[in-house]
Amino acid sequence: MDVYSSSSSISHGVSSTELKRVNSVGSVLSFEHLSYAVGSKAGQKTIIEDISVSVCAGELLAIMGPSGAGKSTLLDVMSYRKIAMSGGTVHLNGRLVGAKEMHKISSFVEQEDALLGSLTVRESISYALRLHLPLLPKLQVQERVSRVIRSLGLQSCADQIIGTPISRGISGGQKRRVTAACAMVTFPRILFLDEVTSGLDSTSAREVMSAISSLATAEGMIVIASIHQPSLETLSQFTNLMLLAEGKTCYLGRVGDLDGFFERWGRPVGRFTTPSDHAMNFLNSDFIRAGLGRNSAREFREFYLSTLQGIPPNAEKWRLEQSTKDGDDVSALQGKAGPAGTLLWTTLILSERTAVNYRRNLLAYGVRAAMYAGMGLMLATIWIRLGTADSTINDRFSVHFFSVAFLAFMSVAGIPSFLEERAVYYRESKNGLYTTLPFLLSNTLVNIPFLLVCTILFTCICYWAIGLHSGAAPFFRFISFLFLAIFTAETQALIVASLLPIFVAALAITSFINGFWMSVGGYFIKARSLPRFWFFSFHYIDYQKYAFELLTNSDFRGLKFTCATQIDNTCVCAYPSSTPETCTVSGDDVLNYLDIGSISYGKWAAILVSISIIYRVLLYFALKARSV
């Protein structure tokens, strides 16, 4: 039996009745001796210490405690987002579960909502399911999504967008429920919830937990949730309760038994106090209240430990063995798409979602297209009709430099939308929906046409108005070479944003890098005049250098410039001419004077493509490094 499988093969037509029957089989998830500490050995601080607990299929475990008790850290360790100290183990039906297996069978709902703001609620949940089960029939996708939407009370906003800085969307509490829905819709065997009721009113919190409880019971789901200050009705939706203080277990038992626990301790719950609030009065040692000292949490734990005396040591073992016998077919469903098929379908679904996001989100490419159009109009009206006088040669160089350098510089406009995508990618990849490769491939596939449209828009506005080299071939070369430069700059900006996911910081670093490439590219100072270190190092890996030289060669080759200056009836040109008797200077003469006339279009374009590929590989590792 493969205990790590989920309900993947529902993509092959398994009915909801069969799914319920398979998932309802009892199984037990056991965590034993989990501990976690931070700091060096000399100054190590223990966050959680020797915690053990077992949860059965269909049960909900609530983890409560004061701030700093270790609730979120415990969830991270349980889900392998953090690695427990030596000795801690996780078993499902008696079999050891590692990090890779845990990520396959579980979903994690973080405290922060990471959603694509331009998608609707229904689309967000639907894409989550399709990414998990790419071959699931469309009808079953719709049925499952509709069921989860009804369960979490999202019918009224199902077709509203999540919301962007430009377009108002759903409320914060509704976003919380959408985040939970994206996790629950994927048929997880284990569901981790970190403060899932934060931002919800008491009624919404109760209904959300009631829906989760119903789904957990129906599908044999194991739910483990940290929760803060629940109402009595919300807490009653849970099966078991774990109370933490200073990283240690102070209570572990049925929710309904907490009242009796305090009766036996001699500190009964007050008439207008809930058992959980009463517990917090003892466990929170940050404030001293009347009748309670700073050692109240320690006394609480000591009494709890005393209540465990006399429990048969083999009771939990028997429970585990019994559930294991009943759960041998828990992994009956497993996807058959294979690695290549999964990669293909996941990439296509991600590409579809990314295209929808870019098409609707003005911050992604709408603003950028407007900026490129504006810059094209600016060039067209400032450098208008340059003509072929030799006095305009440097003006032409300025046009090409501006086109490469400043359009590449504007790649920073893509950072905000990418940071939103990046947050969604980390949430979904950690929940096992897909890996880094399909995300990178889909981003590349969708970026290319959108950037190409922006490049064509800019070129069509300014190229003919300026009077650059006429003809179809030079025009399409201009578009191609400029697009390669912008695509490389885009990837560079995404690398920085992946490693430094703070907009202002990523903007500053990307701007500095682009300014650096401008300085060593050979425009402000001739390449041969650069200090040797910069010339033989960064000058030759500067993508702007290759793009600039490609544009200038495409424009200047074959042109003749009239020399307007004459001294004593002798023609004097702005650049040395190979045919002074004609009082003209050719574009080739100008290029040769600047040592850039002998380049090969194919070779330089291949170098530019190679740099962009290297940048994309670096982007892969940047994303990968932050996702582990």
At 218-264, the pLDDT tens digits run 888 899 999 888 888 888 889 999 999 888 899 999 988 888 888 88
pLDDT above 50 for 420? yes
User: What's the mean per-residue pLDDT of the chain?
Assistant: 85
State how far the alpha carbon of 625 is from the alpha carbons of 438, 473, 500, 628, in Å.
16, 43, 12, 6
Q: Which residues of 138-171 are buried (b: 16+ CB within 10 A; e: fewer)?
A: eebbeebbebbbebbbbeebbebbbbbeeeebbe
Query: 7: which 2 tokens?
Result: 């309900």
pLDDT at residue 20 in the model: 39
Q: Which of 13-22, 228-237, 399-408, 518-527 has the lowest mean pLDDT?
A: 13-22
The alpha carbon dihedral of 293, 298, 302, 305 has a sign of positive
Query: 197: which 2 tokens?
Result: 């009721």
The Cα–Cα gap between 440 and 4 comes to 27
Residues 6+ apart with CB under 8 A from 112: 423
pLDDT above 70 for 563? yes
Architecture of domain 28-310: 3-Layer(aba) Sandwich (3.40)
Residue 64 in 3-state DSSP? strand
pLDDT at residue 613 in the model: 97
Q: Residue 445, exposed/middle/buried by CB under 10 A (0-12, 13-18, 19+)?
A: middle
pLDDT at residue 526 in the model: 83
> How crowded is the C-beta side of 7, counted as CA atoms within 13 Å?
29
At 21-70, the pLDDT tens digits run 334 446 899 999 898 888 766 667 888 888 999 999 989 999 998 888 88
The alpha carbon dihedral of 179, 181, 182, 188 has a sign of positive
Count of other CB atoms within 10 angstroms of residue 540: 13
Query: Boundaries of CATH 3.40.50.300 in the chain?
Result: 28-310
pLDDT at residue 529 in the model: 84
Residue 559 in 3-state DSSP? coil
Residues 6+ apart with CB under 8 A from 93: 1, 3, 27, 28, 320, 323, 324, 327, 330
The Cα–Cα gap between 363 and 116 comes to 12
The Cα–Cα gap between 517 and 493 comes to 13
pLDDT above 60 for 552? yes
At 297-356, the pLDDT tens digits run 888 888 888 887 654 443 344 344 444 333 333 333 334 557 888 899 999 999 999 999
pLDDT above 50 for 125? yes
